[in-house]
Amino acid sequence: MEFISWKKEDGVAIATINRPPANALSRSLILEVGNLLDEVADDEEVRAIVLHGEGRFFSAGADIKEFTEVSSGEEFSKLSASGQAVFERLETFHKPVLAAIHGAALGGGLELAMSCHMRFVSENAKLGLPELQLGLIPGFAGTQRLPRYVGVAKAAEMLLTSDPITGTEAAQLGLANRAYPEADLLSETLTIAKKIAKKSPVSVKAAIDMLQYAKPASYYEGVKAEAGSFGTVFVSEDAKEGIQAFLEKRQAQFKGK
């Protein structure tokens, strides 16, 4: 794999995202998440996975440059649905996946982290869904997962203002399990992963399976609707302006069209 490497340590696969400078989620990187799951699925020496980012960030978001290569709303909806499928597989994977988040998990980066079974953060990390700044919406089930963790009111605030929260706030709200000083983040996350790795794989899988029943009945309908809305919004003039403004590093001028 080009952007994700991994190694084993005491029953844990330590997987590292390395796509400088910001570990942006490209289509290729998302596919590699699926490839990682393929590689560890039947490896009996791997009982848990820790996912973290190399460099300054966990993942600062989607690769916006790739958005300019998509020509239609239908194609964008398919892109959304394909990413959702990978992240749904991650969330239901039979081996627990723990995200160690430092620097930033924004946009698609936070959607990736929310698909993991547990999230551990550095106290000063930034977590948010800033897609509305580009005239878009989250497309990898972020609109559905975020309210499950922080509640509808806080999710609305985060989505509509695009303002991120800190790692400390994320832990207080329930978006993250625990917050640590950045220097301790990976080692503390590994300690928890290794503790889980000592449990029975049969019972761990059963527990993960049972947690899926905690999803509200409307969740799957919402995820499907999000992919369609993602494509509809993408073909708006505002989305084109937002993407162009981001690439040109200027303030977008939205016209409501």
Q: What is the rounded distance in angstroms from the CA atom of residue 102 to the CA atom of residue 84?
A: 23
Q: What is the rounded distance in angstroms from the CA atom of residue 87 to the CA atom of residue 111?
A: 8
Structure-block tokens of residue 81: 């649905």
Active-site annotation, residues? 111, 131
Phi and psi at residue 215, to the nearest 5°: -70, 135
CA of 175: how far to CAs of 149, 159, 180, 229, in Å? 5, 14, 14, 24
Coil vs helix vs strand at 56: coil
Q: What is the rounded distance in angstroms from the CA atom of residue 111 to the CA atom of residue 115?
A: 6
* Residues whose CB falls within 8 Å of the CB of residue 138, separated by 6 or more in sequence, listed in order: 107, 108, 111, 129, 131, 146, 159, 226, 230
- Nearest Cα to 180, choosing from 127, 125, 129, 126? 125
Structure-block tokens of residue 36: 């990682």
**Do the beta carbons of residue 127 and residue 105 sit within 8 Å?**
yes
Element (H, E) at 129: none
Q: What is the rounded distance in angstroms from the CA atom of residue 114 to the CA atom of residue 111?
A: 5
Coil vs helix vs strand at 127: strand
